[in-house]
Amino acid sequence: MNRSLPWLATVLAAGLLAGCSGYRLGPTAGFAAGARSVQIRPFQNQTLEPRLTEPFTSAMRKRVQQDGTYELRTREDADIVVTGRIIRYERSGVSFQPDDIITLRDYDVEVTVQLEARERATGRVQLDRQLTGRTTVRAGSDPASSERQALPILAEDFARKAVALLADGDW
């Protein structure tokens, strides 16, 4: 029997354990999941684009529930209050029709939100940062309808980034 086999297995096991030492189980914010609560207030729309408040507020609330780091509250008794101001909504062309360089085929939609998280008890601002969400829209025959259908995807992209920052951020 080869005597180096147990030694090799020990070295491989040690290497695997050392490689996984940076991982943590559970929430990374330093407290147990659901130990703190958050209230997501309706976002303010400061752009000229209508009907942005509901998709962004809903996406944030849904994402907080899915993440599980914070307990979502709807009343005034949450530990942290999150507010948002939608400050920019922009479209930019990505590609044009092959036979017509004026007509858009695909365009990016980008939104910028000023996000703030404040402790209710002390009033201390824990997070105050601009975050963006982005998606690409295929214009098709009805660009307005295509953009309306892409709005939940845009809101979800923003909410994913915002909740990750709330749960794991450097604030």
Over pLDDT 90: what percentage of the chain? 57
Nearest alpha-carbon partner for 135 in 121, 118, 149 = 149
Question: What CA–CA distances, in Å, run from 77 to 3, 125, 165, 167?
Answer: 65, 17, 22, 19
Look at residue 34 in the predicted model and tell me its pLDDT.
64
More confident residue, 27 or 139: 139
Average pLDDT of the chain?
A: 86
Please give the domain boundaries of the chain with CATH numbers for all domains: 30-168 (3.30.160.150)
The pLDDT tens digits of the residues spanning 118-160 come to 999 999 999 999 999 999 998 877 888 888 999 999 999 999 9
**pLDDT category of residue 64 using cuts at 50, 70 and 90:** very high
Model pTM score = 0.77
pLDDT of residue 116: 97
Other Cβ atoms less than 10 A from the Cβ of 68: the count is: 13
